[in-house]
Structure 1
Amino acid sequence: MSAVAFDVPAAAAGTATPGLSLTLNVAGQQDLLPPGLLALLVSLHRAIEPGRQAALAARIARQARFDAGELPDFRSDTRHIREAAWRVGPIPAALADRRVEITGPTDAKMVINALNSGAKVFMADFEDSTSPTWANVLAGQRSMIGAVRGDLTFTAPAVGDKPGRHYQLEPAEQRAVLIVRPRGWHLDEKHVLIDGQAIAGGLFDAASFVFHNGRALAAADRGPYLYLPKLQSMEEAALWEQALSHIEAATGLAQGQIKVTVLIETLPAVFEMEEILHALRERIVGLNCGRWDYIFSYLKTFRRHADRILPERGQVTMTQPFLKAYSELLIATCHKRGAHAMGGMAAQIPINHDPVANEQALARVRADKLREVTAGHDGTWVAHPALIAVAMEVFNEHMPTPNQHHVLRKDVSVSRDELIAACSGSISRAGFENNVEVCVRYLAAWLDGNGCVPIHNLMEDAATAEISRTQIWQWIHAGSCQLDDGTAIDLALLQASLQALPGRLGDTSALPGGGRIAQAIALLAELSASPVLEDFLTLPAYARIN
């Protein structure tokens, strides 16, 4: 396949690679995993895994301190980085204008539609939008190869006597720029074992993408480009720097050829934004407000802090002071250092059966994008192609230049306490039950191999499901939370909601993962009853797939 373009001989995936074993074999695997890539995975794992385990152990230790009452804050040992004069490296021309980006999973149909959508950038997501079955992971890599070569196609199944629709890519100059999001440091790829250990999912994703596509993208001045998720510290950013430098050396790319954008979607990371930029300064082009994961991280960080419990999800908007402070600090930090400050996700999807409700949803999107562009963001995210025109119109009107690096936001002065201040609000019965439904329906779909699910006119992914799951756990274990009608939030309330849910859903045969609803209910009940909050929903769920 694409390996031929890089003078790597095609060979069977079973070719002996010392130290490496594959636990599954799916169709097409041999072409996607040639010996050169397998050798790279072995050397990369051995170089990076000790650092990854140290980083994960540091996360556990940090969270234990937060559980004991410590509050996150700016680091004193890195003050010299924040106070020194420095800037990140030049931004490639292909990434100068990123005013509207669309995100989604890596299946062929989604990739074609997203690249053809009219957005400036498509982020192909191997993380929160993808259920990482081995077949999905490999199919995603095949989609990336076809996207870079320009020959990716998809034909939908026929329905009755109606032929299936055929999808193909528009000419290269009409396509969005491709950026790939590999999995975070916490996620394993259990189907690739090296020295008996699972390789980091993110290393597999990034190395495979660059091995197959790196030279072609570099020759076209299109990367390779990555979005790096869920970092918590500058040390974790430095670990990615080490990994990407290793991949570049192994694939013949120039050092610094791989450019990255980092999602600031954990609460600890907001206190180390300058340090993260500095650790990746020769290859980083921007930071992104990953709002949904950031809310999840806030909940998880303060899981034992009864004075920092958030209201139901619908009330936790970007206009809340602690989220406004996070967004504006990110803008000021990025522009000070010459990097993009990307805005967050609009998760709405079209409501075709209700024009009034659809227009109300679009109005919320317009208001959100207007807030972002007038604050100084250089671009924004949408989850559905129908929102691209709405977001583009707002950014075109208020951002005539390719970006807003000139908007320095010197008026922004954000304190530690502003970044961690809880917001007031309430928890309604409908809000509680919506959390339960979203979590169960998303989990069921994820277990069935679908990581991006429309629920109640919003596109839900792992990040939004994590908010629902973590809120349920915290409300129950805080011991004092009530619905706004005075009902105590406890395991009995959750059990009653879970028992009633199948009846509320009705016929689940048409729902994504409808056959897994009972399994998802059991898993949510188990996780919610546990005295310890599971770090990530996808960790116990991953053990239940393949």
Structure 2
Amino acid sequence: MSIKITGALQPGYETILTEPALAFVALLHRSFEPMRQNLLAARHERQAQWNGGESIDFPPEMSSVRDDPHWQVRAAPADLSDRRVEITGPCDRKMVINALNSGAQCFMACLEDASAPTWDVMVQGQVNLRDAAAGTITLEENKGSGGKSYKLNDKTCTLIARPRGWHLDEAHMLVDGERVAGALFDFGLYFFHNAKALLARGSGPYFYLPKLEHYLEARLWNDVFRLAQSVLGLPLGTIRATVLIETLPGAFMAEEILYELRDHITALNCGRWDYIFSYIKTFQNDGSKVLPDRAAVTMASPFMAAYARHVIRTCHKRGAHAMGGMSAFIPVKDDEAANEKAFAAVRADKEREAKLGHDGTWVAHPGLVGLAREVFDAIMPTPNQLGVIPDGVATADDLVTAPPGPKSRAGLDNNINVGIGYIAAWLRGQGAVPLHNLMEDAATAEISRTQLWQWRMQKVVLDSGEPVDAALIGAAVKEQLGVWKGQVGDNFFATGKYQEAADILQTLILADELAPFLTGPAYEFHFAG
């Protein structure tokens, strides 16, 4: 029985990778790794069934849970009762300080899709979150003349951490010769070091849980929470979770996910970008479920609007909050017209969410906190909208019917351009990336490559008359690589990772089988060593 760290130990890491903390993560691994592997295998089995033509539906074996009118989730703690604006972002030190000072109600500190999972990003993120939880985080930037100091304001956001999903490993921690789950590495270190400090400051250990595809995956998290609380001597329900409904299978099990986590859950969140990616992945072999250009798939699309109503209705029926999603627009520096357009788009998106019944929303930039709060304050004067139940129960058809729309060469080129740009940044260690005045995370590249893979496999003909085939993909990748080269210059190619990113994207698009996640194989090749 052994614990081994294979990542380089930079100064300060020893304060996170302590013997007791690693022993705690090892306990979680030994207790739950077999079940994690079983659940991951079950994902592949379900996908094979859908690929074979089986329809997706609400789980019949859990109808008694859905039909029982009596059960409710635990009431939210005080600092999670009003979540009208949440800011999200990676866990680098400046971002953490600025986000906590942003004036939002909560900061979702992301160790998942907004962070590239390099060893240093993951462990340094834990250092930063440890200092944030203690209220001691500071930063001196460019010491000396012209330098800048960062520290926390007297009033800060409620901190919520997002660990990695169940599908990702942490290659740099081995327990008994096995890799630990990235989810348990992230959760375990954060909870072990910070739970009691957060409670002492009037808050608690709060988590966002990503990419759940089944209620049994939620049950696994619940079992993790119960054991973790027991080990630290904390009462049941000390941990509070928000689950991102960002997979199509997860939407069909939203009520069951609430039920499994009812002692620990406070909310569900509409993770719209990953949801689009999951829709494409789920229906990868179904020619009747081919989506139009990414830009044409909005929250006004009928299947997306049904999804939002379904999440709100499900949450409020059970006493949970229903969080809105991310509008990817960000302020545009030195471009007043573009800035006005971005702010108008964000305002319209947040008004839609608030009027529909969401209890809060996400923004990606401190400059948008005030706008989002203004919208929610006007429409939601109370701390939340738990009493709002949208009309109409969503049917399976409502959630899966693909909308009409263009399938254009411009849409194909945009997918490739943004896919290359994001993957290149990810390979450089960035997880949240501003591209074309939008804040993008890993879902961006996932939509790009899965949509083009499906268009190719389903022999889509673009509105221009061009068939989407290997030749067109290859030509477009070459063309968009040239666009990036023109923007960043030849000297950036060695360190900019654009050629590597293009190779990864093209390989995934032209593969015979659709990889479940691009981050898996990319992690193995670039970060796991």
Q: TM-score, normalised by structure 2?
A: 0.97
Equivalent residue, structure 2, for 1:352: 333
CA-CA distance at 1:514 after TM superposition: 5.5
- Is it true that 1:93 corresponds to 2:78 in the alignment? yes
Cα pair distance change 1:512/1:499, threshold 3 Å: closer
- 2:344: which partner in 1? 363
Q: Could you tell me whether the CA contact under 8 Å between 2:90 and 2:432 is conserved in 1?
A: yes
Distance 2:417 2:493 in 1: 13
Q: Which residue of 2 aligns with 1:539?
A: 520
State how far apart, in whole Å, the 2-side matches of 1:426 and 1:329 are: 26
Aligned ranges 1:184-263 → 2 under 5 Å = 184-263=165-244
Compared CA separation, residues 517 and 288, structure 1 to 2 (3 A): same
1:167 matches 2:150: yes
Letter in 2 for 1:244: F
Aligned positions of 1:39-50 closer than 5 A: 39-50=23-34
Answering whether residue 327 of structure 2 is matched by residue 343 of structure 1, we say: no
1:230-270 deviations in Å (ceiling 9; x for gaps): 00111000000011111112222222211000000000111
In the aligned structure 2, how far is the partner of 1:456 from the partner of 1:507?
A: 12
SS of residue paired to 1:333? helix
* Amino acid aligned to 1:54: N
SS at match of 1:124: strand
**What letter matches 1:19 in structure 2?**
S
The 5 Å alignment of 1:137-536 reads 137-157=122-142, 163-171=146-154, 174-409=155-390, 411-479=391-459, 481-505=460-484, 506-508=486-488, 515-536=496-517
Q: What does residue 50 of structure 2 align with?
A: 66
Name the structure 2 match of 1:108: 93
User: Do 1:182 and 1:201's aligned partners in 2 also have CA atoms closer than 8 Å?
Assistant: yes
Give, in angstroms, the shift of residue 412 of structure 1: 2.0
Cα distance between partner residues in 2 of 1:48 and 1:157: 44
Whether the 8 Å CA contact 2:165–2:209 is kept in 1: the answer is yes
Contact 1:508 1:514 in 2 (8 A): no
* Residues in 2 aligned to 1:298 and 1:530: alpha-carbon distance in whole angstroms: 19
Over the aligned positions, Cα root-mean-square deviation in angstroms equals: 1.4
For the Cα contact (< 8 Å) 2:134–2:198, is it kept in 1? no
| 1:78–1:275 Cα contact (<8 Å) kept | yes
Report the AA paired with residue 18 of structure 2. P
Task: Return the letter of the residue paired with 1:322.
Answer: F
Q: 2:20, 2:128 → 1: CA distance?
A: 20
Task: State the Cα deviation string for residues 329-382 of structure 1 (Å, max 9, x = none).
Answer: 111110110000000101111112321121111111111111100000000001
Secondary structure at 1:287 match in 2: strand
Aligned to 1:10: none
Q: Deviation of residue 148 (structure 1)?
A: 1.2
2 CA distance for matches of 1:478 and 1:465?
20
Distance verdict in 2 for CA 1:540–1:157, change over 3 Å: farther
Which residue pairs with 2:2 in the alignment? Answer: 19
Q: Distance in 2 between matches of 1:336 and 1:515?
A: 49
Match in the other structure for 1:119? 104
Q: Deviations over 1:378-436 (max 9, x none)?
A: 00001111111111110000000000001122x22211111100010112222111100
Extract unaligned runs of 5+ from structure 1. Answer: 1-17
Q: Which SS does the other structure have where 1:261 is aligned?
A: strand
Contact 2:89 2:108 in 1 (8 A): yes
Aligned residues: percent identity?
50
Counterpart-to-counterpart distance in 2, 1:313 and 1:528: 16
SS of 1:78's equivalent in the other structure is helix
- Determine if contact 1:96/1:402 at 8 Å carries over to the other structure: yes
Q: State the one-letter code of the partner of 1:147.
A: A
Conserved 8 A contact 1:295-1:467: yes
Following TM superposition, by how much is the alpha carbon of 1:25 offset from its aligned partner in structure 2, in angstroms? 2.2
Structure 2 gap ranges (5+): none
Q: Is the 8 A contact 2:493 2:499 kept in 1?
A: no
State the partner residue of 1:33.
Answer: 17
Aligned AA for 1:361?
A: A
**Do 2:110 and 2:162's aligned partners in 1 also have CA atoms closer than 8 Å?**
yes
Quick check: 262-271 or 481-490, which moved more?
A: 481-490
CA contact (8 A) 1:290 1:344 kept: yes
Q: Which amino acid aligns with 2:66?
A: R
Cα distance per residue 1:254-295 (max 9 Å; x no partner): 222110000000001111111110100011001000000101
The 8 Å contact of residues 193 and 199 in structure 1, kept in 2 or not, is answered as: yes
Instruction: Note the C-alpha offset of 1:199.
Output: 0.4
Deviation at 1:499, TM superposition (A): 1.3
- Equivalent residue pairs, number: 523
1:159-218: CA deviation from partner (whole Å, max 9, x where unpaired): xx95232211111xx101000000000010010011211101011101100111111112
Listed as ranges, the matches of 1:1-12 within 5 Å are none
Cα distance between partner residues in 2 of 1:69 and 1:156 = 56
| Offset of residue 478 of structure 1 | 1.1
Contact 1:445–1:512 (8 Å) recurs in 2:
no
Q: What code does the residue aligned with 1:57 have?
A: A
Quick check: 1:444–1:514 contact (8 Å CA) kept in 2? Answer: no
Residues 191 and 176 from structure 1, CA distance in 2 versus in 1: closer, same or farther, beyond 3 angstroms? same
Which amino acid is 1:204 matched to?
A: F
Cα distance 1:250–1:513, how it changes in 2: closer, same or farther (>3 A)?
A: farther
Aligned to 1:53: 37
Once superposed, which parts of structure 1, at least 4 consecutive aligned residues long, lie more than 4 Å away? 509-514
The alpha carbon displacement at 1:76 in A equals 1.0
> In structure 2, how many angstroms separate the alpha carbons of the residues matched to 1:127 and 1:511?
27
